[in-house]
Structure 1
Amino acid sequence: MTRDHNPVAVVAGGTAGVGRATVDALIARGYRVAVLARGEARLAQMQQELGAQIWTRALDVSDGDAVMRAASDIASDLGAPEIWVNSAMLTSFSTFDMVDEAEFRKITDTTYLGTVNGCRAALSVMAQGNIVNVGSGLAYVSVPGQAAYCGAKHAVRGFTQALRIELAREGRPITLSMVQLPAVNTPQFDWARNRLDRHPQPAPPIFQPEVAARGILRAIDQNAREILVGRSVLKLLIGNILFPPLVERQLTEMGIETQKSDRPDTDARDNLDGPHPDISARAHGGFDARAKDDGITLDSDAARKTLAFGGAAALLGLGYLLGRGLTSGSSPKVEAREKPDRHPASPAYRRPTEYRV
C-alpha cells in the first residue's frame, strides 16, 4: 500500500551540539526525524518540545545490534529513511599517557565504530538517499591532547572513502558524504573528560552549531563527496599538504594552550561512561559570545582542483593565506574574520515524500 507522510531522516547523536542543530534544520524542512542518543532525559525533553515531529530511541551507538534494531523500528514506524546523519562522538582532553586502554577504547567505539554501526544500519533500511558522516578538520591534522578522538576521525575518513567506492560499484542510489567541521560551540566542552588545568574550549575560530548544520544540508543537497566548513578547516587541509612540518611545529608550541579557556574547571563529572545529568538537549555550548554565526562551506573537491590546476599564483596565494594564520603568534587554526556564508539558505530539497510499505 502507499501512504503520504513527511519524509524521514535519522540523526545519531541528535540531542546536543551539531546533532541537535541538524535535527532542528531537518524539521524546518518538513522531515520527521528519528533521534538516537544515550540520554533518556534529553530525549524526553526533545519529545516534549517537538512532539510528533520526532521519534526517539535511547541507545549507545557503539552497540551495533541496538542501532540495527532501531533502524528496523524506524522503517516500520515511520517509513524508510532517506537521510541518515552520524554525529555521535566522545572525547577527552588528556595527553595520551594519561588515557588508559578502557578510556581510549570507549572514545574509539563511540566516535569511530558508532559511525560504522550507523552506516550499516542505514544501509539495511534505506532504498535511496544520503548518509552523512560528521567529521572534523582533525581528520586531516591531529592536535595534542585528543589522540583518541583524532585517531577515530582519521579512521572515519578512511572508512567513509572505502564504503563510498563500494556503493558506487554496486550502483546503489545512496550518496555517502563526509562533512569536516571546524571548532564548534557545543556542550562537548562542558561534559568531556578533562585533565587540562583549565576548562577546555574550542580552539579559535569558533562557530555556532547552525553553521555546521548548514554544511550537512549542503552535502545532502549537492550529493557532495566531502564538504569543508569554515576557512580554518581549509587551512588545515592545505597546510597538511604543503607545509606539514610547519603545522606540526606550531601545534607543538600552541596546540594544547589553544584548547584551554581562561576559566577554571570546576565540574569533575563527564559523559564518558554515561550521559551528563545536568546538561539539557541544546545545540549551543558556553561560548556564544565568541562564536561566529556564519562561515564558508566549500566542496573539498573544488579546493583540491584549485591546488592542482590553479597554477603558481593560486599556490602562492594559498601559501600566503596559510602563512599569515600560522605565523600570527597563535594557533594555526586562528584566522581573520570569516566571510559571510555564501550559502545562507540551502536550495529547495526535492525528494519523493511517498513510500511503498
Structure 2
Amino acid sequence: MPHQIAVITGAGAGIGRATARTLARAGCDVALIGRDAARLQDTAAELAELHIRTLTIAADVTDAEALERAADRIEDTLGPITLWVNCAGAGVSGQFVELAPEEIRRATDVTYLGTVFGTRTALIRMRRRGYGTIVNLDALSLPRPLRSIESGARAAIRAFTESLRPEILHDGDRIQLSLVSLPAINTPRFVWTRNHTGKRLRPAGPVFEPEIAAEAISRAAFGRHRDLRVGLSGVGQRVAALLAPSLLDRRQAVHAYRQQLEKHPADDDTPDNLFTPVAGAHAAHGPFDHLSRRRMPLLLTTTLQTILAGTALAVGAAALLATLRRGAADRRG
C-alpha cells in the first residue's frame, strides 16, 4: 500500500476534525478542506505534534472548480491522493413548508452535491493510478420530521454511492467506495444548523462522540469495507417501517418532535453556518458531551450485516414453519 495522502472536507470542526486527528495518528499526511481558513489552521496546529505533513485549503465544496484546484495543489504539495473523505454538510431544520427555497437548495448543495463533487474530484485522480479509497457518510436512523432536507440529501448520497460502484468495477480499477452509516454524533451541527423550530435542537436516540465516527471512517478506509454501520441504532425502526409503516408514521408524528427539540427556546441571535462559516474557534465536539457515549459500539461490516440478515430470515422461516405445523396438527386433532 502506498503512503497515504488523505483529503478531508469539512475538516474545520465536527466529524471532519476528529477524522483528521485519527488519520494523522495512523500516519497519513492530511489535506484539510473547509470554508473557514482560520479554523483549518487551528486543526492543522493540533496535528503538528504528530509529525505528519498537512495542507489547509479554504474552499466551498459546492464549487466544483475550487475542489479541482484544491486537488491539484494537494498533489503538487503532498503527493498523489490515496484517500478522500467527504465530511462536509450543512442543514436546515423545521417544518418543510416554512423553509425558504434558497435554504433548501443550499443545504442540499453542501451535503449532497458537496459529496458528489468531492467524489468526482478524487475519482478523476485515482483512476489515473488505478487505486484509492473514497468514503461517504450516511445517516443510520430513519428519516425524521423537521429534517426532511438532510434526510433527502443522505438518501441521495446512498443511492449515488450504490450507482457509482458498478461503474468502478466495470473499469477494473482497485478503487474502494465506502459508505459509513452513522448514528447521532455530538458535533457543533446542533448549534450551527439553521433552525426554524423555535426550540434548541438536540440529538435523537443514542449519541456518540465524534471520535467514534472518525474511528469508523478509518476502519472503513483501511479495511476496504463496502458498507460499515456504527451500532444498531435505528434497526428496530427500519423493521417497523417494513412491517407497519403507517403505525411508524403516527409514532414519528407524536414522539419525533420531542426527541429532537429541547424544552428551552432557541436564541434568536444564534448564528448558523448554512451560507457562511460561524466565526470563532470550534472543536470536534458539540454541546452534548454529558449525553455522549465514548465506547465504540458494534461495527456492522457488509459481511456481518449479511450474516445477521440471513440469520434473521432463517429464524423467521423456522418460526413460520413451526406455526404452520402446529396449525396442521391442530386441524388433524
Q: TM-score band (shorter)?
A: 0.7 to 0.9
Distance 1:316 1:274 in 2: 56
Distance 1:79 1:43 in 2: 20
> RMSD of aligned C-alpha atoms?
2.1
1:36/1:59 contact within 8 Å kept: yes
Give the equivalent residue in structure 1 for 2:41.
44
Deviation at 1:81? 1.5
Distance 1:254 1:316 in 2: 34
Deviation at 1:6? 5.2
Deviations 1:131-188, CA, capped at 9 Å, x for gaps: 00011125xx211111111111010000000111110111111100111110110000
TM-score between both structures, scaled by the size of structure 2: 0.87
2:89/2:111 contact within 8 Å kept: yes
Structure with larger Rg: 2
Deviations 1:236-285, CA, capped at 9 Å, x for gaps: 4444444433332221111121111244322432111100113x241100
Distance 2:235 2:93 in 1: 24
Is the counterpart of residue 99 in structure 1 residue 99 in structure 2? yes
Match of 1:273 among 244, 251, 275: 275
Query: Paired residues, what number?
Result: 310
Q: Secondary structure of the equivalent of 1:282? A: coil
Give the equivalent residue in structure 1 for 2:304.
302
Residue identity (%): 36
Q: Secondary structure of the equivalent of 1:256? A: helix
Give the equivalent residue in structure 2 for 1:197.
198
Amino acid at match of 2:315: A
Is the counterpart of residue 260 in structure 1 residue 261 in structure 2? yes
TM-score between both structures, scaled by the size of structure 1: 0.82
Deviation at 1:314? 6.0
Is the counterpart of residue 61 in structure 1 residue 61 in structure 2? yes
Mapping for residues 1-357 of structure 1, pairs under 5 Å: 7-51=4-48, 53-126=53-126, 127=129, 128-138=131-141, 141-266=142-267, 267-278=269-280, 280-294=281-295, 295-311=297-313, 313=315
Q: Which has the higher helix share?
A: 2
Distance 1:244 1:285 in 2: 33
Q: Secondary structure of the equivalent of 1:175? A: strand
Q: Secondary structure of the equivalent of 1:288? A: coil
2:8/2:31 contact within 8 Å kept: yes
Q: Secondary structure of the equivalent of 2:167? A: helix
Amino acid at match of 1:59: A
Amino acid at match of 1:166: E
**Gapped runs of 5+ residues in structure 1?**
318-357
**Gapped runs of 5+ residues in structure 2?**
320-333
